[in-house]
Structures are given as C-alpha cells and as structure tokens.
Amino acid sequence: MPGRKMKKTIERDVSWMYFNHRILQEAQRPEVPLLEKLNFIGIYSNNLDEFFRVRVATLSRMAEEKTLRHISRLYAEYDEEFTRTVDSVFGELAENGIRLVDEDKLTDAQKSWVEAFFEDNIVGATSPIWLSKVDDLNLIADSAHYLAIRLTRCAAGKTSYAYAVLPIPTGRVGRYHRIPDDDAGNACVIALDDMLRLMLGKFFVGLDFDAYEAYSFKFTRDAEMEIDNDFNDSKMQKVQKGLASRRTGEPLRVMYDSAMPKELMRRVMHKLRLSPYDTVVPGRRYHNHRDLMSFPDCGRTDLKYPERRSVDMLAAWRSSMECGGRIPGIFEIISASDRFIHVPYHSFDAYLQLLREAAVSPKVKAVKISLYRLAKKSKVVEALIAAAHNGKKVTVVIELLARFDEESNIHWSAKMRDAGIEVIYGVEGLKVHGKLTHIRTTAGNYAVIGTGNFHEGNARSYTDVMLFTARPELVNDVERVFDFIASPFMPVKFRSLLVAPNYMRSTLSRLIRTEISNARKGLPAYIRMKINHITDEDMVELLYKASAAGVQVDIALRGNCSIVTGQERVSENIRICGIIDRYLEHSRILIFANGGDERIFIGSADWMPRNLDHRVEVLAPVYDPAIREEMRRIVYSALADTVQARVVDGSGDNRLRTPGDLPPFLREAFPGLDLRPFRSQDELYRHYSEE
C-alpha cells in the first residue's frame, strides 16, 4: 500500500555471519587475555566449519544463490580481518615469550624432541595416499586436514615428480605441542603439520626421492546425513548408515596454502570433485585454526582469565535448613521449596548429587531423563547405571540425531542398555531437545527442568539454569512429557508446561498478543528475554506488532536474529544486544509483564521453526518468588551490560553498547549504572559469591 513501510528482516544465515563476527571481534579487544584471544579465534574457526557443513550445504542443495553470494561477500571480508587478527595475536605471543616455530627454526635439542615424539606417537597414526591411485579423494578420506606432498626424483639428468596427500592425525595426536625452550628462553610450540614436514622422509623410506615439499589444505564437508526410510531398520541403524554417508559428504569449502605448486593444486582439486558452488580459498601455511582452542598455555596463567570457583549451592541449601545438626538429603531440601542453580557460577555437583542420592535411596523407584549431549566421561551416565544396578527403573530418552554428537550418543546408548536401562530414541520425525529429569519415590515425585544439557563439561563454560522442584503441577507435567515421547500418538494435555510441538507456539503467541492488548489499555506491557536465536517469521512479525503497539521489547540474544530494530512504526520499541564473554550465554529466560502480574519461564526452546514445530521442547513457569527475582537479575544483568554487549540491530555493525542504549528500567534495577562499566558475567559472579 502507498506510504506503508516494508517490514525488513535479516535472513538467518546472514545474521549468523554477523553473530560469528562478534566472536572474532572479541579476539581483537586489548583487554581480553592473550591466550583467551586464541580461544576465540578457535571458536570462530570451528563455528565457520560447522556453518559450511550444515547451513551452506543446505543452501547449496537448494541453490539459494542470492544468500550464498551474500555469505561469500561477508566471508571474504571477515577472512581478511581474521588473517590480520591471527597475525596480531601471534605477534603479541612472541612479545610475551611464547613462539610458534616451524621445522626450519628448530634447535638441535628441539629436533631431537620432535624425532622422539614422532617415533613414539605419530608412526602408525597416519599414512600417505598416492593421488595417482585414487579417483575420488572423498571416498577414502576420513580427515578434513591434509598435507599435499610433491616428491622429486632426479635421475639421468631428468626430474620427475610424484604426488601424495598425508592426513594430519590431529584427533589422535593433538595439533599443537610444547617443545623445549629455545636458546633465548622463549617457550616454544610446534604444530603437528610442521613435525610431519620435518619427518616426511620417514614415510617414503627406500623410494629414492631426492626432495619433499608439503603444503597444507583442508576441506569442509557437507554434514547432512542421508537417513533412509527403510522400515526394516531401527532408528539406531538408520543413524549409523547416515554417519557413514556423512564421512564421504561432498566438499563445500577448500582452503589451501597459496604457495602450493599449481600442478599439485590442480591434482588435489580434481580428486576432490568440486562443484561450481564450492568455495575455494587460497590461504597461508596453517589452516584448521579451531585447534587453537587447545593451544598449550606454557604455564602462563597470567595470560588467561583468572580462575573462578563455582559456588557449592548444595552446601548453601543445607545450611539454610533447620535440621538439628542432621545433614538433610537433597530430596528433603527440594521438598521444602523450589531450588535452582545457575552454572557455571553454581556448581553442577548439586544435580549430580541428586542423581547419586536417587541411585542409592530405597525410597526411589524410578528415574526418567532426557539426554541430548553428554560429556566424554559422563558422571550423569555413571549415576544412572548405578541406579539401574540398585534395582531402580531407569528410562533414558537419548537423541541420536544431536548434530555432531551422534556417534557419542550411540556409544552411550549401548553402554546404558548393557546396564539394564531402558533407552528410548525419541519421537519419529522430532528431535527431543527438552532438558528434563523425573524421579518417582514412595514419598513423592521430583523433577528438574533445565535450559541446557546435563553435561558436566558444558556446565563449566555454558551459562544455564536448572530448576529443582517437587510442585505437583510441574512434576506431573514433566512425567506427561515422557509419556508423550513414549506414546506420541496418544492425546496429552499439560497444566503448566509449554511443550513443543504441541502448544508452545500458540501459547507464546497468546502471551505476546496479551502484551499488545495491555499496551493499548495503558497497562504495563513489556517483554524481556534472554535467548539464543530468533528467526521464526511468525514470532518476529508478532514482536513487530507488539513494538508498534507500544510494548517495550528488550532481548539479550547470543546468535541468529532476523529482527531489524529501529524501523519507524515497526520496531522502534525493540532493543537487542548480543554478549560474547568468557562463558557462552546459553540460558533461555522469558519475562512477560502480563499487566503487572509477570509471567516468567525458563526452558530449552529458541524462537526458530525447528524448535517450535520440529522438536520436543519445554518451557516451565517459575513460581517461587525468590527464584523469580533471580531470573530477573539474570535477564536484567545481560540487558544492562555495557562492556561485553554489542548492539544487534540487523546492520551487522556490532558496535559496543553504551549507557545511552539502555532503557530506564535498568537504571532502576542497577542504581549508578551510568557511572561505571557494567559487565554482566562479573556482576553475577560477584552476586553469587557474596550470597
């Protein structure tokens, strides 16, 4: 219509590029400790690999050329910035006495160390592949990082060449290794690639080559799994077949050392069977920068974030109970009132203790849990196995299709089945992403509802909230979710929980419409939330309508966001920030004004079509007044951040937030906010440490 403003949105994959750029920007900030900068570089690189494996692969199959071109432009722009950042950080490392050395700069003592390491750890871990012997490198290669080798033989006045590739066995050996210090006393680190370069002759003993040259390259595969519809196969068998198809997925992006001889490069590219949509990027000597996440610290703890101790909430809960000197069990504590933990500020041990007490208590009859990702040496699984051995009925819903954790989950499934645990592989056509635990006892039932995985590794670096409750309205609903998973075609109703794909979308929509109605009536009307992603078109449209009606919308968001803020008569009342800091912001907390009677929810769901329509997700209302206040504190702290938060407005500028960007209610929540830098993770750590 004439004069009507078009409502702009950002395509989800473009918004993801903006998000990942925020991580790269963190590696450029002078106040970030030097070794932590390497970690952010590694995270940026790893994210980009996964993005190409998943999203670019999908776009390529759909031939979404416009989006692919936009991504390619951003990729090229950010890649130049990435290269400058890597150079700058390694320059700073050298200034601080930590040097990355290659095979040509080794002292005699360092060479001896590398030779011994090669014999003890690398021999047998990898072998060369002759390019002349393979038609398609994808069909036999199960590594994404290689050395391309040109071997030279001089005989009878003639020079001839042979060509091979050598998989770099990072997964078995590790990428970066500290070696003896140099003569100036600098701590020295060498990449596995350079060890292999030094020892290349050992791979071709007796073949009479006169010279060896090696150039690194890496490629990113299409990670889509082909899951067939063979009704004779179990879900486990289908996933195992799908993993096999992923290992030979088509390459989508190739990065190579630009010093590689043209004939060698031509042969490698030919064997990779590249398509016109694939991205080929000339680079430098080193690739696979994700391995920088495990770069040795060389004993320099002064170049890392200061160590923090997680608060032992179980001890705090016990001290708050009047038990006449007796130590109360965790079930008694939860029966008295709802409890919560906020990892990593609080220790994950409170949840582990719940499972351990459940494993040995004679009152406990059954345990049900949903698992999405698990630690490599999962203490959660250990406790569940102990419960099964003690005669408890243990049921585990494990999601076999948790991306890039499929093999791990297959392994854990087998181990739990062998222990007598009933293992359920979710619902056909739906991923089970909700984070739930249900425990049935002779004295009553209990539940845990979380925003993140029951994963003690994640709990050290991801911010997540877990609610422990004995409230029947919540506990009974959690059991109904497990009933739905076991029998998805049976009708089920939930009293308190918002469960996808059943009612979550419709209930969230109704909550937003209530805010719109209240704004028009002059009642309190706002939406304040902390979430990972917002890309669902219908939810974005509702938020635009809410903003246009005068609802104040404030969002702390980690990743993808399709909203463009500041559009006249569309999104002027929406403010969004994104925080990148030492912990990955992962919790989802929603606050609706509801006319002055706030409704607060925590849970597993982001506002994306996959979460609202294609997964089993759970959002739980928070009833306990003290916990409600803590949820406000978490959300408000994120929204008030003026140190780590960047403005997310759809432009991709990612400018740092200033006090002038903050709405008035935050100044009421945190007096003096304009007078000091406010870093939400530091503020929360101080708050929990002082409680």
Distance CA 224, CA 246 (A): 6
Provide CB contacts within 8 A for 602, sequence distance 6+: 449, 450, 451, 465, 467, 587, 588, 589, 590, 619, 620, 622, 631
DSSP character string of 60-114: HHHT-HHHHHHHHHHHHHHHHHHHHHHHHHHHHHHHTTEEEE-GGG--HHHHHHH
Q: How far is CA 117 from CA 123, 191, 538, in A?
A: 9, 12, 57
Please report where in the chains the tokens 């499934």 appear, as a residue. 413
Distance CA 554, CA 314 (A): 33
Q: Tell me if 550 sits within 8 A of 573, measured CB to CB.
A: yes
Q: How far is CA 528 from CA 371, 403, 515, 610, 617, in A?
A: 29, 30, 12, 22, 20
Question: For this structure, is 21 an active site residue?
Answer: no
Strand partners, 616: 432
Distance CA 354, CA 361 (A): 10
Set 433, 438, 533, 586: catalytic member: 433
Q: Tell me if 435 sits within 8 A of 370, measured CB to CB.
A: yes
Here the tokens at position 590 are 């929603």
Distance CA 445, CA 367 (A): 10
Distance CA 648, CA 658 (A): 13
Measuring CA to CA, which residue among 620, 623, 597 is closest to residue 525?
Answer: 597
Which stretches within 199-278 are classed as H helix?
235-247, 262-272
Here the tokens at position 559 are 């990743």
Side-chain-side CA neighbours of residue 371 (13 Å)? 30
Distance CA 556, CA 648 (A): 9
> DSSP state, 306?
P
- Cβ neighbours around 206 below 10 Å, total: 5
Whether the upstream peptide bond of residue 344 has omega within 30° of 0, thus cis, is: yes
Measuring CA to CA, which residue among 127, 117, 273 is closest to residue 191?
Answer: 117
Here the tokens at position 522 are 């002059």
Measuring CA to CA, which residue among 613, 650, 596 is closest to residue 505?
Answer: 613
Which stretches within 326-459 are classed as H helix?
330-336, 349-360, 379-389, 406-418
Distance CA 448, CA 436 (A): 6
Here the tokens at position 76 are 């090229």
Q: What residues are labeled active site?
A: 433
